[in-house]
């Protein structure tokens, strides 16, 4: 299993960095669109869609993304949708988690399909817009979730006592959440210092936030992003439990499915772009 995880991770990293190194933005956009189209297929399977409808959902998302690229749609013009997606994750996520696993399959099935497609497409659009702003900005956005996840894992193992949502994800603890948040704040401090020294291809998310709003507001914003990453993780766990599935699929050997890898990123990426509309953006 470990060997599979490492090999799969290395292949994915190689593909991603190769697409990022291309002079054109198309390779990265298409690679990430393909991944999230696979996520749309998984979402259909987890929400009682037939095989044909599940494949159709993946095709619809891919076609919509290609249409956005070909039509020259810019994430810079989607400010209202960034906030709409963020609001959906905050309010809708709280409602879904509060109602619990048994209530999810009772919700309108077609509505669940459409909701998943919309949120996946907006997450992809946010990722592409972040890439347009700069690789340093995009990586710092992704690292909010990755650092929160890593610090939460080790913090939870060392200090975890109080369960966060035992009926949804028994392994998560409040101590893990606090550890993840602390890890992100430390990461921000280090990244801002590195930005000041090296510059890279533009300022990171953290530097932009601090320049526009100061450290206190920036810290609160980063804590909110950490909380959103937990919401994304819990929602996917809830949907899988409702479907009786351990993983969203077996597309990524050793890792499960695409949604298993991007669940915490889905609410964070549009939220970052929503924050960017408040100032401090190129």
Q: What is the pLDDT along the chain (282 residues), one digit of tens a residue?
A: 557 777 887 888 888 888 988 888 889 999 999 999 999 999 999 999 999 999 999 999 999 999 988 877 655 567 789 999 999 999 999 999 999 999 999 999 999 999 999 999 999 999 999 999 999 999 999 999 999 999 999 999 999 999 999 999 999 999 999 999 999 999 999 999 999 888 788 999 999 999 999 999 999 999 999 999 999 999 999 999 999 999 999 998 878 899 999 999 999 999 999 999 886 443
Residue found by looking up tokens 């309010």 in the block: 91
pTM for the full model? 0.93
What is the Cα–Cα distance from 109 to 270, expressed in whole angstroms?
24
**Residue 181's closest CA among 134, 220, 217?**
220
What is the Cα–Cα distance from 182 to 185, expressed in whole angstroms?
5
Residue 282 in domain: no
**Number of domains the chain contains:** 1
Residue 281 in domain: no
**Residue 184's closest CA among 139, 228, 234, 225?**
225
What is the Cα–Cα distance from 96 to 281, expressed in whole angstroms?
33
What range defines the domain where residue 121 resides?
Answer: 2-276
Residue 47 in domain: yes
What is the Cα–Cα distance from 249 to 267, expressed in whole angstroms?
20
- Tell me the two tokens of residue 162: 């109080």
- Classified as helix, coil or strand, 25 is coil
Residue 19 in domain: yes
């Amino acid at each position: 299993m470990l060997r599979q995880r490492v090999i799969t991770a290395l292949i994915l990293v190689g593909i991603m960095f190769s697409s990022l190194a291309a002079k054109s933005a198309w390779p990265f956009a298409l690679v990430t669109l393909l991944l999230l189209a696979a996520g749309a297929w998984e979402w259909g399977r987890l929400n009682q869609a037939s095989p044909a409808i599940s494949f159709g959902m993946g095709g619809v998302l891919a076609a919509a993304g290609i249409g956005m690229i070909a039509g020259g749609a810019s994430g810079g013009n989607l400010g209202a949708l960034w906030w709409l997606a963020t609001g959906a994750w905050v309010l809708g996520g709280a409602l879904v988690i509060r109602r619990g696993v048994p209530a999810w399959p009772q919700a309108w099935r077609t509505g669940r399909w459409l909701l998943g497609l919309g949120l996946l497409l907006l997450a992809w659009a946010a990722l592409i817009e972040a890439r347009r702003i700069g690789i340093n900005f995009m990586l710092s956005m992704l690292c909010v979730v990755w650092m929160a996840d890593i610090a939460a894992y080790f913090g939870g193992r060392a200090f975890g006592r109080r369960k966060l949502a035992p009926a949804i994800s028994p392994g998560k603890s409040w101590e893990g959440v606090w550890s993840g948040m602390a890890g992100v704040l430390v990461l921000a401090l280090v990244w801002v210092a590195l930005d000041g020294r090296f510059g890279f291809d533009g300022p990171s998310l953290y530097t932009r936030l601090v320049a526009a709003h100061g450290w206190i507001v920036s810290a609160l914003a980063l804590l909110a992003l950490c909380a959103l990453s937990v919401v994304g993780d819990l929602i996917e766990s809830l949907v899988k439990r409702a479907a009786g599935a351990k993983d969203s699929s077996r597309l990524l050997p050793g890792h499960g499915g695409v949604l298993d890898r991007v669940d915490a990123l889905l609410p964070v990426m549009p939220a970052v772009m929503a924050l960017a509309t408040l100032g401090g953006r190129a």
